[in-house]
Structure 1
Amino acid sequence: MKKWIVLTLALALALSLFAGCGKGADADETDYASMSIEELKPLLKTVTDGKLTVATSPDFAPYEFYSIDENENPTLVGFDIALAQYIADYLGLELEIIPMDFDGTLSELSAKKVDLVLSGYSPDPTREDKMDFSDIYYVGGQSFVTVQDKADSFSTLADANKAEYQIGAQLGSIQADLAKENTPDADIVELSKVTDIIAELLSGKLDGAFIETVVAEAYAKNYPELCVKFDVPYEQEGSVVGVSKGNGALLAAVNLAIAAAKEDGSMDEFVAEANTLAEGNTYEGLLDNQG
């Protein structure tokens, strides 16, 4: 009888230990999503106290780019930049934006060197191990782009899927995945900046490219030689803020800020203003030391 009791207790202990596996001693099960912004603010943890550090790749108008004024002075603008400022203000934090190449934004966030990335990110499931996704703040689409002189060659994606064509996409982007998925037989060229893709299209070195629709349309307004040929199917349409992995309080606060920006009409204003600025004198890419 005693032996049976001992075995029972041992089994119960083993089961309790097994049930605890995977949760970790410091697992955070706090329901941040149910909290108000006033409740969340004291819980916010950022890379630098009192600051919201945001990485972005400024070659993606109208999301993020430089607007050049009459004195040739560049200002970082775009609806991602405006949203970043709105989020920082909503959270009661000072905004610090760090421009970098697109593929660097993901690595910096994954290494927890920045709090957020705002760079036209889509909620691609392959990125879930490196970032947490906010709610969608903007719904766009994907397009296949070429130049007017080659437009008749591409009626469908199948037309672009030939070894004779060079098809461009931004390095590390959703568009690069779409290129590999839809035109695997083509020579896929991944470049670090969208501006480089546009330049290669205009020079004839690329035959076509995968670019987000609103971005492609912004470029087409400035370069009439470009042709936004047709939509590219993509299930994960929409843009999200990438949040440092495991930072539940910050994720919940960002979602509240996004909801507020959409509800009070600010998001629509950000998009409209960014589209207007994108039609003016712009620069897309990283600035040198002289600006």
Structure 2
Amino acid sequence: MKKLSLFIISILMIGLLAACGTATEEGNETSGSEGESKKVLKMATSADYPPFEYIDTAKGSDIIGFDIDLVNSLAEKTGYEVEVQDMDFNSLIPALQAKQIDLVLAGMTPTPERAENVDFTDIYYTANHMIVSLKDNEVKSVEELDGKTVGVQLGSIQEEKAAEIAEQVSLKVENRNKISELIQELKSGRIDAAIIEDTVAAGYFEKDDQLAGFTLESSEEAGSAIAFQKGSEYTEEFNTALNEMKENGELDELIIKWFGGKE
């Protein structure tokens, strides 16, 4: 009887352990399925370009802006997570080419030269060039740039614009890594004017009443697009999601939030 009882207890214990083992395995599978992490894409930007991307020091060290909101919306639609890192603008395309990052959102214009090295989505925003100067020594026309020193951001589309203007008037061009550096150079008198995208310049005008500017007349607007590695599998996915945001009004909502409705 005792042996029988021990035998029955043994059978019950084996069954219990087997049941526990099965539950644990099934629990792991469920946990793995439900808690499966999304693929993380590495994005780089140049966080000196408000309202596209910048660091609001009053609220911390996080990078915020139109491009950041845009990429977060696109990542949600495509099922990815995005890690954002800051680097100098002229380092962005080399970083893509070296496959150190997966994508770039930085108010970047898809020029033919850039398109030789990276892939671009459709344009998601357009803007114009502006000549920015100090009110005390205001430059009011391209002709007034003759003999002056003009600053532009290194690697930007404004470099090309400065080269175009240099064909019309005699000027010296100075390059800096960040827009904030251009403003500092302007206020210190080391440059006479700077060429900056109008929406970005507007943000500086709001904070600094010493600045003035005028928009350059142009038949072509400088559009911004998302850059990916050449042949990237993500370009088409993000472009599809971007066009969805254009069609359903989500992109317009972001434009109104960050640019006050400018299209």
Q: After TM superposition, is the score higher than 0.5?
A: yes
Q: Does the C-alpha gap of structure 1 residues 85 and 73 become closer, same or farther in structure 2, counting only changes over 3 Å? A: same
The answer (yes or no) to whether the contact 1:158–1:182 under 8 Å persists in 2 is no
> Quick one: which of 92, 97, 100 aligns to 1:110?
97
* Structure 2 residue 88 is the aligned partner of structure 1 residue 101: yes
Amino acid at match of 2:256: A
In structure 2, the residue matched to 1:53 is: 42
Letter of the aligned partner of 2:210 in structure 1? E
SS of alignment partner, residue 254 of structure 1:
helix
Q: After superposition, where does 1:99-138 map in structure 2 within 5 Å?
A: 99-138=86-125
> What is aligned with 1:254?
238
Q: Distance in 2 between matches of 1:232 and 1:96?
A: 37
User: What is the match of residue 191 of structure 1?
Assistant: 176
Q: 1:114 to 1:232 in 2, by over 3 A?
A: farther
How far has the Cα of 1:66 moved from its partner?
A: 1.2
Q: What is the deviation of 1:275? A: 4.6
Q: How many residues align?
A: 221
State the distance in 2 between where 1:237 and 1:193 align. Answer: 18
In 2, Cα distance between the equivalents of 1:155 and 1:199? 20
Q: CA RMSD of the aligned region, Å?
A: 1.8
Q: CA deviation at 1:233?
A: 2.4
1:160–1:186 CA contact under 8 A, matched in 2: yes
CA separation in 1, counterparts of 2:253 and 2:55?
A: 18
Check conservation: 1:141, 1:234, Cα contact below 8 A.
no
What whole-Å deviation, never above 9, does each CA across 1:182-226 have from its counterpart, x for those lacking one?
135311110000000011112222110110010011111111111
Checking the alignment, whether the CA contact within 8 Å between 1:134 and 1:241 is kept in structure 2 is: yes
- Within 1, Cα distance between the matches of 2:257 and 2:125? 14
| Alpha-carbon distance in structure 2 between the residues aligned to 1:114 and 1:161 | 41
Residue 120 of structure 1 aligns to a residue whose secondary structure is coil
- Gaps of at least 5 residues in structure 2 are 1-37
Q: Percent identity?
A: 33
Q: Is this contact kept in 1: 2:121–2:225, CA < 8 A? A: yes
TM-score by length of 2: 0.79
One of 232, 235, 260 as aligned partner of 2:220: 235
2:230, 2:56 → 1: CA distance? 32
Stretch moving more, 265-274 or 103-112: 265-274
Higher Cα Rg, which structure = 2
Tell me the distance in 1 between the aligned counterparts of 2:70 and 2:56.
Answer: 17
Query: Are the counterparts in 2 of residues 102 and 171 from structure 1 also a CA contact under 8 Å?
Result: yes
List per-residue Cα deviations over 1:212-246 (Å, max 9, x = no partner): 01001111111111112232526352111111111
Q: Between the two structures, name the one with larger relative contact order (CA 8 Å, sep ≥ 6).
A: 1
What is the match of residue 55 of structure 2? 66
CA 1:274–1:252: 2 relative to 1, 3 Å: same
- Cα distance between partner residues in 1 of 2:68 and 2:160: 25
TM-score (norm 1): 0.71
Distance 1:138 1:266 in 2: 13
TM-superposed CA distance for 1:105, in Å, is 0.8
Q: Tell me, which stretches of 5 or more residues in structure 1 are unaligned?
A: 1-48, 277-291
Please state whether the residue corresponding to 1:221 is helix, strand or coil. helix
